[in-house]
């Protein structure tokens, strides 16, 4: 892993696009060749271990490298732009490889700080200040409680007296430091080993409530960044005011960080005391949110807002199935993250080409492109088809896994999944028909860069190429079927 990072860091010494991209491609190829893949998820977040290359880290590092590569191909030819993107990639790799909860939190927030600067420096409209205010407020509300809980728990301190008994047992020597996870206390293990003997009911109940508080803080910070419905207002505003590469990074990587964050917590704290009522309420809330977000998405007139709400719809599918904790949910979430990350990045790139011609993102003004630019309309047709999960695409296989995973938790989830299949296909057809057909607007220019069209072609080809990941995962986890 160190050799790979050295090769990647060498790209910082090239302050022109050709040298930087060449070094970047070499590091991507080295990563593919060097590391042997095995399907497993790390089972703990523990103090002192910073690096693990499990399945989650492997797939998300590949996705991050490829999206950043596409961003470098179409972005600004400036030193500060290249430097920020390479640093962002290194921070993301640190997040994916981290097993310590505090390091995970630091890398997670650092990536959004870098995203803040990308939108601030290269956004075009003054309204981006309002979007960044939303960005900061939502980040602070979700992150500060989690940081406090991580610091208190790692230091073994009490939070409002809930962990006082645990600290007392540590200081008395009843429990050694090796008997508990330094990030998350494993309640069932302590109960089996008899550590609750002699404690009154109030102390045990306070410990269980403390575990639920940790669960709530850890899950909430990543629900803000998914984003879950009700916590999503910052994402459409950030997409609308960010440049094209900012939207590609947000949709391609940043909102996927919640997936790996929740799974890291789930597999490290799976023995904690979780109130099944809380999990059930979250599950049915996300099932209901599928209906609302689909309706909101179908009423958008701004193309960027349309694709942004489509991202919320797809990530809500992951939120429905993630609570089952099965291997199906892991595979489905990984495939959906890949499929949506690549597809949504290409959609934002394609609609930016439409904006270059029409100088507007309004879906009514952007019409008749089938006659003006058949190549862009061809890409638009395939990307809209992929977005609604046509068969043989990676989106299709990922939704199949997520449907079965949701069914393992509750059969009621089928209603939400079937509604989403119908409605997503409905508004993707509308999106294609409005843009490609109809009467062309009179205020048009033809300044479309062929470089952008070529990059869209690369992203489209790569999306179909990713289908092989489905078969790769299928061979490794074939026993689940």
What angle (nearest 5°) sits at the alpha carbon of residue 9, between those of residues 54 and 7? Answer: 70
- Same domain for 299 and 219, yes or no, is no
**For residue 61, how many C-alpha atoms fall within 13 Å in the half-sphere facing its CB?**
28
Q: Comparing C-alpha atoms, which of 118, 120, 136 is closest to residue 128?
A: 120
Residue 437 in 3-state DSSP? coil
Q: For residues 323 and 279, is the Cβ–Cβ distance under 8 A?
A: yes
- Same domain for 175 and 317, yes or no, is no
- Same domain for 63 and 146, yes or no, is yes
pLDDT of residue 208: 64
Report CA 480 to chain centroid distance, whole Å: 25
- Same domain for 305 and 363, yes or no, is yes
What angle (nearest 5°) sits at the alpha carbon of residue 451, between those of residues 84 and 444? Answer: 110
Q: What is the DSSP letter of 103?
A: H
**Domain boundary pick from 228, 248, 272:** 272
Domain count, the chain: 2
**Domain boundary pick from 272, 293, 308:** 272
Per-residue confidence in pLDDT tens, the chain, 481 aa: 545 555 555 555 554 555 555 555 656 655 554 554 444 444 444 334 445 556 677 778 888 888 888 888 777 777 788 888 888 988 998 888 887 777 888 888 899 899 999 888 888 888 888 888 888 888 888 888 788 777 766 654 444 334 444 444 444 444 443 433 333 344 445 555 555 555 555 555 566 666 677 777 778 888 888 888 888 888 888 888 888 888 889 988 888 888 888 887 776 654 444 566 777 888 888 888 999 999 998 888 889 989 999 999 998 899 888 877 777 888 888 888 888 888 888 888 888 888 877 878 888 888 888 887 787 888 888 888 888 888 877 888 888 889 988 888 888 888 889 999 888 888 899 889 888 887 766 555 555 555 555 666 666 566 555 544 544 544 444 433 3
- Same domain for 224 and 310, yes or no, is no
Q: What is the DSSP letter of 302?
A: B
Distances (CA, A) of 21 to 24, 93, 279: 5, 18, 45
- d(Cα 92, Cα 70) in Å, to the nearest integer? 16
Domain with 87, as residue range(s), is 1-272
- Same domain for 365 and 242, yes or no, is no
- Same domain for 255 and 351, yes or no, is no
pLDDT of residue 164: 45
pLDDT of residue 367: 81
**Domain boundary pick from 238, 272, 306:** 272
Tokens of 459: 């992203």
- d(Cα 85, Cα 122) in Å, to the nearest integer? 13
Distances (CA, A) of 468 to 92, 295, 362, 464: 24, 33, 36, 8
Tokens of 296: 């909101």
- Same domain for 265 and 288, yes or no, is no
- d(Cα 264, Cα 301) in Å, to the nearest integer? 37
443-462 burial, b if ≥16 CB within 10 A, otherwise e? ebeeebeeebbebbeebbee
- Same domain for 48 and 111, yes or no, is yes
pLDDT of residue 309: 92
Tokens of 345: 């990045």
What angle (nearest 5°) sits at the alpha carbon of residue 308, between those of residues 304 and 314? Answer: 145
- Same domain for 325 and 225, yes or no, is no
Q: Comparing C-alpha atoms, which of 251, 464, 462 is closest to residue 352?
A: 251
- Same domain for 80 and 212, yes or no, is yes
CA dihedral (213, 219, 223, 228) positive or negative: negative
List, in sequence order, the alpha helices (H) in 160-302.
Answer: 164-172, 187-192, 201-225, 234-241, 244-252, 257-268, 276-298
What angle (nearest 5°) sits at the alpha carbon of residue 454, between those of residues 452 and 460? Answer: 105
Residue 58 has phi, psi (to 5 degrees) of -60, -55
- Same domain for 316 and 410, yes or no, is yes
Q: For residues 389 and 421, is the Cβ–Cβ distance under 8 A?
A: yes
């Amino acid at each position: 892993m160190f050799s790979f990072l050295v090769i990647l860091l060498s790209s910082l010494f090239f302050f022109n696009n050709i040298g930087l991209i060449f070094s970047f491609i070499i590091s991507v190829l080295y990563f593919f060749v060097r590391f042997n893949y095995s399907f497993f998820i790390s089972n703990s977040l523990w103090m002192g271990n910073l690096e693990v290359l499990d399945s989650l880290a492997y797939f998300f590092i590949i996705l991050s490298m490829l999206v950043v590569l596409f961003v470098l191909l179409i972005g600004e030819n400036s030193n500060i732009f290249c430097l920020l993107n390479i640093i962002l990639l290194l921070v993301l790799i640190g997040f994916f490889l981290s097993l310590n909860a505090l390091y995970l939190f630091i890398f997670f927030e650092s990536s959004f700080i870098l995203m803040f600067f990308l939108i601030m420096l290269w956004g075009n409209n003054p309204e981006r200040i309002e979007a960044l205010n939303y960005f900061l407020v939502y980040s602070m509300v979700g992150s500060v409680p989690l940081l406090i809980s991580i610091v208190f728990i790692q230091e073994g301190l009490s939070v409002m007296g809930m962990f006082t008994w645990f600290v007392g047992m540590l200081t008395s020597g009843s429990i050694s430091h090796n008997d508990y996870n330094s990030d998350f206390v494993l309640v069932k293990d302590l109960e089996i080993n008899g550590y609750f003997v002699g404690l009154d009911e109030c102390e045990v109940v306070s410990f269980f409530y403390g575990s639920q508080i940790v669960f709530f803080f850890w899950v909430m910070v990543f629900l803000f960044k998914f984003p879950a419905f009700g916590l999503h207002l910052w994402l459409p505003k950030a997409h609308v005011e960010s440049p094209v590469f900012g939207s590609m990074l947000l949709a391609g990587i940043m909102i996927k960080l919640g997936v790996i964050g929740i799974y890291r917590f789930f597999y490290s704290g799976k023995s904690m005391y979780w109130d099944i009522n809380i999990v059930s309420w979250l599950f049915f809330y996300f099932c209901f949110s599928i209906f609302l977000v689909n309706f909101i998405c179908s009423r958008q007139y701004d193309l960027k807002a349309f694709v942004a709400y489509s991202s919320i719809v797809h990530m809500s599918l992951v939120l429905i199935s993630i609570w089952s904790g099965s291997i199906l949910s892991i595979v489905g979430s990984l495939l959906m993250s890949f499929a949506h990350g690549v597809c949504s990045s290409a959609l934002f790139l394609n609609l930016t080409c439409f904006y270059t011609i029409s100088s507007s993102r309004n879906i009514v003004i952007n019409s008749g492109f089938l006659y003006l630019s058949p190549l862009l309309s061809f890409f638009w047709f395939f990307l809209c088809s992929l977005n609604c999960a046509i068969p043989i695409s990676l989106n299709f296989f990922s939704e199949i896994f997520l449907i079965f995973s949701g069914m393992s938790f509750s059969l009621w989830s089928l209603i939400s999944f079937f509604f989403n299949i119908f409605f997503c296909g409905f508004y993707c057809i509308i999106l294609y028909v409005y843009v490609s057909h109809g009467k062309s607007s009179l205020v048009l220019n033809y300044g479309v860069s062929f470089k952008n069209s070529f990059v869209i072609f690369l992203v489209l080809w790569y999306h179909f190429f990713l289908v092989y990941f489905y078969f790769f995962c299928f061979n490794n986890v074939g026993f689940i079927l």
